[in-house]
Structure 1
Amino acid sequence: MRSLLMLFAAIVPQATLAQVPLERTIQVTGTGVVRTPPDVATLVVYLRGEGPSSEAATRDIAAKQRAVTDGISSFLGAGSELTTSEVVVIEARGQACNSQGGYGNQPRLSSGDCAVVGYIATMQTHVRTPAVEKAGTVAALAARLGASDARVQGFLLSDLQEAQARANAAAFDDARRRATALARGAGVKLGAITSVRDQASYEQVVAGAMQRVSPPAPPAPAVSTVTLDTRPAPIETRAQVYVTYAIEG
């Protein structure tokens, strides 16, 4: 009886395993990279106003803001966006307040060496425009119209999903080529896709309230415009997929 039980225990696992079909698949990783010329340029323009009073400093920076905004709007035309943020008006003290008595960053009274001698107003204006080729010229124009600092921040794609779709398609084509080569080398026939998994990707999101510059545009600025040719490098969009194919036969 004991021998029969041992024989039965040995036969059952083998029979169970025989009922489980072997998985006949080919697993590959496909990678796709597409390069797209950017169609959006972003700039930041810093403005500074000064005066003996806070009102005078504010009036000074307001005049510069109008000149810079009107000049950029006229040069770029419709379709660009301007955002104004980080407006600051602060007191200004004489040089003696920092060089005598070891004041440093310690709190001090607004009298004597540290009496308020004026005010400084600062402001940032952000520009977003489809006129990529004009980005460098816009920075130079803003500086000539009164900006204390103007620079091109970077270049973007207006349609990230379209670029990502092309990268995904390229990744699937790459996966198919790899799987076909493996199947040919193994002497088997490649079947249908049984599973697909993609690598997590992160998209850039532009958020925030923006003020659109719309026609009619203001008159052209009464300053000469030196053209700076801007030719940014294409933006790379990547995709990676993990694909499993069945083996036919």
Structure 2
Amino acid sequence: MRRFAIFLPIFWPCAAIAQSGEEQRPRIVVNSAATVPSPPDRAVVSFSVHGEGATSDEAVRDMVAKRDAIEKGLAGVSARPDIRAAQVGIAEVRGRDCNRNTYGNPRLSTGECAIIGYTADLQVEFRTAAVNEAGTMVSLAGRLGATNPRIDRYFLAEDKEIRRRGIAEAVAEARLQAEAIARASGVRLGGVLNVSNLSFNGPGPYDEIVVAAARVNSPPPPPPPPPPVAIGLKPRAIETQVRVQVIYAIQP
């Protein structure tokens, strides 16, 4: 736990008191922060799946067969896989001599610009609680035909309790520092006038909306692969930072 505090004793001038019509007493303002390190409990692995074929259907079947093999392999590493498709697209493939400049005149799909095949691409995000096996999942996805597999990030599925701990630590530290300021200044610390949470809580747990590509009947997946190359990883801790501002009265 790392903590620091900024202290701003404020003494309100008489002119301000006269303008507001209310008596403003001197006060001590303390900005305190606490950082709570926690091991992540979720990892996000992302990759793309590429398929090719003479027709769009063949390209999609190729892509889906690879996707199914990858999902089956990853399910053997993570007991409860959460695989989500982000984008799916099909593109026409023409000869290398075809020049279809979008700013020029339209060209028919004949001659040099005749369609010679199709590609299908699917972007996938895989969320898992097996954070220490995320590197192995990247290795396995690459072996099974995934394109550009990688670990995107680690995160906490729920951090409310951690933030509550941080708030308690920050407020307790603010009290200690305010007492030290009062003693050093020769004044008596009064009660709390106001407490503000200055933290940005960030996004909460991910929702359950899933955008998935439609499944297409595909040939049987390849036989189970040999054990993947293990990549031992220990992710660094997630540092949850909480900031509070506490305003104390000064007793007369």
TM-score bin (small chain): 0.7 to 0.9
| Residue of structure 1 equivalent to 2:238 | 235
Quick check: 1:81–1:210 contact (8 Å CA) kept in 2? no
Q: Larger C-alpha radius of gyration, 1 or 2? A: 1
- Residue aligned with 2:98, SS: helix
Quick check: 1:48–1:120 contact (8 Å CA) kept in 2? yes
Q: Distance in 1 between matches of 2:118 and 2:161?
A: 49
Q: Distance in 2 between matches of 1:208 and 1:162?
A: 22
Quick check: 1:94–1:115 contact (8 Å CA) kept in 2? yes
1:36 maps to amino acid = S
Quick check: 2:198–2:243 contact (8 Å CA) kept in 1? yes
Q: Distance in 2 between matches of 1:25 and 1:128?
A: 49
Deviation at 1:177, TM superposition (A): 1.9
Which consecutive unaligned segments of at least 5 residues does structure 1 have?
1-15, 212-219
TM-score by length of 2: 0.80
Which consecutive unaligned segments of at least 5 residues does structure 2 have?
1-17, 212-222
1:91 maps to amino acid = E
| Residue of structure 2 equivalent to 1:221 | 224
Aligned pairs (5 A) from 1:202-221: 202-205=201-204, 206-210=206-210, 221=224
| Residue of structure 1 equivalent to 2:56 | 54
Deviation at 1:139, TM superposition (A): 0.8
| Residue of structure 1 equivalent to 2:91 | 90
Shift of the 59–87 alpha-carbon distance from structure 1 to 2, 3 Å rule, reads: same
Shift of the 29–85 alpha-carbon distance from structure 1 to 2, 3 Å rule, reads: closer
- Residue aligned with 2:125, SS: strand
Quick check: 2:199–2:241 contact (8 Å CA) kept in 1? no
Aligned pairs (5 A) from 1:55-204: 55-78=57-80, 80-98=81-99, 103-105=100-102, 106=104, 107-204=106-203
Deviation at 1:22, TM superposition (A): 6.1
Please state if 1:29 is matched with 2:31. Answer: yes
Quick check: 1:87–1:123 contact (8 Å CA) kept in 2? yes
Q: Distance in 2 between matches of 1:138 and 1:28?
A: 47
For residues 51-84 of structure 1, give each alpha carbon's deviation from its aligned partner in whole angstroms, at most 9, with x where no partner exists. 0011111111111011001110122113x31112
Quick check: 2:199–2:244 contact (8 Å CA) kept in 1? no
* Alpha-carbon RMSD: 2.4
Quick check: 1:74–1:221 contact (8 Å CA) kept in 2? no
For residues 121-145 of structure 1, give each alpha carbon's deviation from its aligned partner in whole angstroms, at most 9, with x where no partner exists. 0001211111100111101101111
- Residue aligned with 2:169, SS: helix
2:166 maps to amino acid = A
Q: Distance in 1 between matches of 2:247 and 2:209?
A: 45
1:39 maps to amino acid = D
2:68 maps to amino acid = R
Percent of aligned pairs with the same amino acid: 35
Count of aligned pairs between the two proteins: 220
Q: Distance in 1 between matches of 2:68 and 2:140?
A: 13
Please state if 1:246 is matched with 2:249. Answer: yes
Bigger relative contact order (CA 8 A; separation at least 6): 1
- Residue aligned with 2:77, SS: helix
2:229 maps to amino acid = V
Q: Distance in 1 between matches of 2:55 and 2:237?
A: 48
